Amino acid sequence: MAAILVAGITAMLAGFFANKAVRPHEVAAHGSTEVAAGSAAAAAPQMPDPVMALIAGADIEQGKKLSKACAACHTFDKGGADGVGPNLWNVMTRGKAAESGFSYSAGMGAKGGKWTYDDLNHFLWKPKKFISDTKMNFIGVKKPEDRAALIAWLRTLADSPSALPSAGDIAAEESALSANAPAEEASAPPATETH
């Protein structure tokens, strides 16, 4: 009797471990598909690299220098005139498309909410990818360090500048943008998008 019982339990345990043993193969197979999809996307990244971790330590003077690329269309001083683009004083605190008297694109008007660090990162990376009909005819700023410096400088253009990104904001951005995801994943809005 006891021998049969032991044999039965042994068989069950063997079955149990056999099931477990299958798992690593599944994981490995899944992992390699992800790598393949990721390398296909590497040719044309669908999302910008994260910038929030760079903003607090960014070189604001460098941001100001880089803004020469924007100055053909934008003024930055308080009360400055609108040009081809709107004046950018208070841009992070006043809300999107909120410069009164400036005629924005329909897409910019429909976005709503304030300019978050995440939104600015996406818009300045590739303006037309963020707002397809934007009137801002500008190719974008490729290097994350340059976008961080520009955004850090834009932040200072305010009567009371917005809070710097928190550790939580930084972590959320890194997980949303970390994979610099393949096309099918990039259509989902990033987790930090709040509008």
Q: Which residues bind ligand HEC (CB under 6 A)?
A: 69-70, 72-74, 84-86, 88, 91, 96-99, 104-105, 108, 115, 124, 131, 134-138, 141, 150
How far CA 59 is from CA of 52, 53, 66, 108, 152, in Å, comes to 13, 13, 11, 28, 8
Task: Report, in Å, the least distance between residue 166 CB and ligand HEC.
Answer: 21
If one counts every other C-beta atom within 10 angstroms of the C-beta of residue 91, the result is 21
Task: Report, in Å, the least distance between residue 104 CB and ligand HEC.
Answer: 3
> Measured between alpha carbons, how far is 190 from 180 in angstroms, rounded to an integer?
11
Task: Report, in Å, the least distance between residue 88 CB and ligand HEC.
Answer: 6
How far CA 62 is from CA of 35, 85, 110, 128, 153, in Å, comes to 36, 22, 32, 25, 8
Task: Report, in Å, the least distance between residue 71 CB and ligand HEC.
Answer: 8
| Residue with smaller CB distance to ligand HEC, 70 or 181 | 70
| Residue with smaller CB distance to ligand HEC, 51 or 141 | 141
| Residue with smaller CB distance to ligand HEC, 50 or 86 | 86
Nearest C-alpha neighbor of 176 from the set 33, 168, 57 = 168
Nearest C-alpha neighbor of 148 from the set 53, 48, 55, 49 = 55
Task: Report, in Å, the least distance between residue 99 CB and ligand HEC.
Answer: 5
| Residue with smaller CB distance to ligand HEC, 86 or 165 | 86
> Measured between alpha carbons, how far is 4 from 168 in angstroms, rounded to an integer?
58
| Residue with smaller CB distance to ligand HEC, 117 or 138 | 138
Burial category of 155 from C-beta neighbours within 10 Å (exposed 0-12, middle 13-18, buried 19 and up): buried
